[in-house]
Amino acid sequence: MSSSDPATRPEPDAGRPYDAVVVGAGFGGLRMLHELRGLGLRTLVVDEAEDVGGTWHWNRYPGCRTDSESWYYCYSFSPELEKEWQWSERFPAQAEVADYLRFVADRLDMRRDIRFGTRVDAAEFDDDANVWRLRTDAGDEITATYYVAAQGILSAPYLPDFPGIDTFDGEVLFTPRWPHDRDLDFAGKRVAIVGTGATGVQLVPVVSRTADHTTVFQRTATYVVPSRNHVLEDVQRIELDRDRDAMWKRTELHPMALPYPPSAGRLGVDLSDEERRRALDAGWERGTFRFMFEMFDDMMTDPEINKVVADFVRDKIRSIVTDPETAELLCPDDHGVGSKRPPLGQHYYEAYNRDNVDLVSVKKTPIQEITPRGIRVGDQEYEVDVIIFATGFDAVTGGFTRVDVRGRSGASLAQRWADGPETVLAMAVDDFPNFFMVLGPQGPYAILTVVIEHTAQWIGQAIAAAREAGTDRIEARPDAVSDWNQEVLDAVAPTMAVRGSESWLFGANIPGKARVVQQYFGGFHTWLEKIREESAAGFPHFTLGAKTGAASDPARRAS
Ligand code: NAP
């Protein structure tokens, strides 16, 4: 049965509130549905797309694949699912991840609780009725006691306002809204790629393989580490299966939720130049994020050590890219390693050795306009047939604030976060009772599938705690929000990341957006400990069962 078959689509809420509504049917939303079903809650999931997948539904540009390894880029709540699903590669391509999420949805018969093709535009908390009222683009209202926003951190695409974009005679493509209805063939075409973040880095080698000519427009060069992707052999799968339980346990101890040793176990400052070089060579051969995060424990705190790593990558770029001018343009010179979210590449730098690939730096001279024939930079016009924009997202907060969410005071989440997001442990906000977020702002900078798993469990526990206390109302306390905000600020202070970062991690890629740390850099393991303490103690930083204004009424607190 197809996802858009009316028989699979839940009827609009005919007046009776759902126990819970979840917005988003990606990794987070599906996991949340499973959790809420487990609590016996009548739950509806709503998604704008026509199928499950979330980010893996929309981002189907050529070369799109995970840069987390497949064996932990998946759910851990069901040993059966883990056994049934076999990944084909270390870093699976978009289609395989989308298939995986379809497999989970079908295997757990989730589609009957999902309404596809419906965008939620607004949500308002009705204090008297203790329900959330969600307005959809179809003009109807969905009501539910609990509202879980599961849009994720990268769901609001960002396309800069380039003058003349509508005048272009060729085809304009935007990676997070890649066409679903046709295969694109770049053979014989001159293609422009704008943007060299993780998306652009995946596009360049693949598009340039078939395009007649590819011109890459780069504003900021990044440190791209080789992914060393490979197919998974049966023998590796057997090993991975055997290790599965221990692997998930290891993720709980790691600052980034990786199933690897939590620390490099060495300080760059203690090593000789030769020892550092040996470590860097070995790390480069192994590739993956481990190159960055397991190199030296002082890489993010000691600028000298960070520079050692940065110089090493710059040398690698110069040794791979044969044209010295192009190599220099590809060498990052304005930020340290790790202060932007690092991309993983598969033959990225090598692609610039092709005769049909050019790199244009738009750092000093920005893109001035899009013309009918191409892209103008300064007084030079680059004529192309296709422009691909890989210009990123209004990350972390954008997916949540795109919905006009209003709490019990009537103030919106967007207003509330105008100077930067504030949450308790990335999952709740005061003034927004019964509202939870999966991958909300101020959450750990870590492997998202693992964060989702623990977030869903915790939200389930919070709702269960309210119910056990004989109520269907739970709200974060304002002091808890300020406390977590302070912890988030304190955690980022000692790291390199805080220094001059122009990254989406700090909201810096969106004109006019508050420049403030959007994620928690104190480590996934620390966050996990804190959320576990909170639930084990009966949610002391929340008010259970109180109506408006009761957050300051201690007699009505559960603890
Ligand atoms: P991004 O990292 O924000 O990169 C956007 C690119 O567009 C940057 O190179 C940016 O330059 C450029 N850009 C933006 N405005 C521009 C302008 N006006 N003129 C010229 N260039 C402009 O976005 P992304 O590449 O889509 O990646 C976002 C995040 O998505 C990643 O960090 C990652 O977390 C996730 N992602 C993951 C995967 C994966 O798992 N494999 C793949 C893709 C993305 P500046 O750097 O100068 O701003």
What is the pLDDT, as a whole number, of residue 559?
Answer: 28
CA of 316 to the centre of ligand 1 (A): 22
For a ligand 1 pocket test, name from 391, 502, 518 the mutation site with the most ligand atoms within 8 angstroms of its C-beta. 391
CA of 348 to the centre of ligand 1 (A): 15
CA of 341 to the centre of ligand 1 (A): 9
% of the chain at pLDDT higher than 70: 94
Average pLDDT of the residues in 527-533: 98
Residue nearest to atom 35 of ligand 1 (CA): 198
What is the Cα–Cα distance from 176 to 505, expressed in whole angstroms?
18
Residue nearest to atom 28 of ligand 1 (CA): 392
State the closest ligand 1 atom to the C-alpha of 176, by its place in the atom list counted from 1.
Answer: 26
State the closest ligand 1 atom to the C-alpha of 363, by its place in the atom list counted from 1.
Answer: 47
Average pLDDT of the residues in 487-503: 76
Look at the alpha carbons of 59, 64, 67, 68 in this order and tell me if their dihedral is positive or negative.
positive
CA of 96 to the centre of ligand 1 (A): 22
Question: Which two three-digit tokens encode residue 472?
Answer: 């269907």
155 lines ligand 1 (CB under 6 A): no
What is the pLDDT, as a whole number, of residue 547?
Answer: 61
Residue 10 has pLDDT above 70, yes or no: no
Residue nearest to atom 45 of ligand 1 (CA): 220
Residue 552 has pLDDT above 60, yes or no: no
- pLDDT digit string, tens, across residues 413-431: 999 999 999 999 999 999 9
% of the chain at pLDDT higher than 90: 88
370 lines ligand 1 (CB under 6 A): no
For a ligand 1 pocket test, name from 72, 194, 206, 219 the mutation site with the most ligand atoms within 8 angstroms of its C-beta. 219
478 lines ligand 1 (CB under 6 A): no
Average pLDDT of the residues in 190-207: 98
Residue 383 has pLDDT above 50, yes or no: yes
Q: What is the pTM of this model?
A: 0.94
CA of 376 to the centre of ligand 1 (A): 21
Res. 11 pLDDT band, cuts 50 70 90: low
Residue 531 has pLDDT above 90, yes or no: yes
Nearest to 251 by CA among 428, 91, 457, 450: 450
Residue 497 has pLDDT above 90, yes or no: no
194 lines ligand 1 (CB under 6 A): yes
Residue nearest to atom 26 of ligand 1 (CA): 392
CA of 66 to the centre of ligand 1 (A): 15
What is the pLDDT, as a whole number, of residue 263?
Answer: 86
Res. 553 pLDDT band, cuts 50 70 90: very low
- pLDDT digit string, tens, across residues 273-298: 999 999 999 999 999 999 988 899 99
What is the Cα–Cα distance from 551 to 48, expressed in whole angstroms?
35
Res. 513 pLDDT band, cuts 50 70 90: very high
Can you give 358-392 as a three-state secondary structure string? EEEECCCCCEEEECCCEEEECCEEEECCEEEECCC
Average pLDDT of the residues in 261-267: 90
What is the pLDDT, as a whole number, of residue 496?
Answer: 64
Q: Which long-range contacts (CB under 8 A, 24 or more apart) does 417-423 make?
A: 417/441, 417/514, 418/514, 419/514, 419/516, 420/507, 420/514, 420/516, 420/517, 420/518, 421/396, 421/397, 421/516, 421/518, 422/481, 422/482, 422/484, 422/485, 423/476, 423/481, 423/484, 423/485
What is the pLDDT, as a whole number, of residue 539?
Answer: 98
What is the Cα–Cα distance from 119 to 20, expressed in whole angstroms?
17
- pLDDT digit string, tens, across residues 137-196: 999 999 999 999 999 999 999 999 999 999 999 999 999 999 988 889 999 999 999 999
What is the pLDDT, as a whole number, of residue 89?
Answer: 97
For a ligand 1 pocket test, name from 509, 510, 515, 519 the mutation site with the most ligand atoms within 8 angstroms of its C-beta. 509
151 lines ligand 1 (CB under 6 A): no
State the closest ligand 1 atom to the C-alpha of 154, by its place in the atom list counted from 1.
Answer: 30
CA of 390 to the centre of ligand 1 (A): 6
3-state secondary structure of 416: helix
Res. 340 pLDDT band, cuts 50 70 90: confident
CA of 197 to the centre of ligand 1 (A): 4
3-state secondary structure of 158: coil
Convert 244-278 to b/e letters by CB count within 10 Å (16 or more is b).
Answer: beebbebbbbbbbbbbbebebebebeebeeeebee
What is the pLDDT, as a whole number, of residue 293?
Answer: 83
State the closest ligand 1 atom to the C-alpha of 220, by its place in the atom list counted from 1.
Answer: 47
Residue 555 has pLDDT above 50, yes or no: no
State the closest ligand 1 atom to the C-alpha of 222, by its place in the atom list counted from 1.
Answer: 46
- pLDDT digit string, tens, across residues 50-62: 999 999 999 999 9
What is the pLDDT, as a whole number, of residue 264?
Answer: 86
Residue nearest to atom 15 of ligand 1 (CA): 391
What is the pLDDT, as a whole number, of residue 380?
Answer: 97
CA of 257 to the centre of ligand 1 (A): 23
As a whole number, the mean pLDDT across the chain is 93
- pLDDT digit string, tens, across residues 23-55: 999 999 999 999 999 999 999 999 999 999 999
CA of 27 to the centre of ligand 1 (A): 21
Q: Are 455 and 34 in contact (CB under 8 A)?
A: no
335 lines ligand 1 (CB under 6 A): no
Average pLDDT of the residues in 102-107: 98
State the closest ligand 1 atom to the C-alpha of 200, by its place in the atom list counted from 1.
Answer: 25
State the closest ligand 1 atom to the C-alpha of 508, by its place in the atom list counted from 1.
Answer: 48
What is the pLDDT, as a whole number, of residue 548?
Answer: 43
342 lines ligand 1 (CB under 6 A): no
Residue 13 has pLDDT above 90, yes or no: no
What is the Cα–Cα distance from 277 to 108, expressed in whole angstroms?
49
CA of 504 to the centre of ligand 1 (A): 8
CA of 196 to the centre of ligand 1 (A): 6
For a ligand 1 pocket test, name from 199, 333, 515 the mutation site with the most ligand atoms within 8 angstroms of its C-beta. 199
Residue labelled with tokens 């995946």: 202
Residue 543 has pLDDT above 70, yes or no: yes
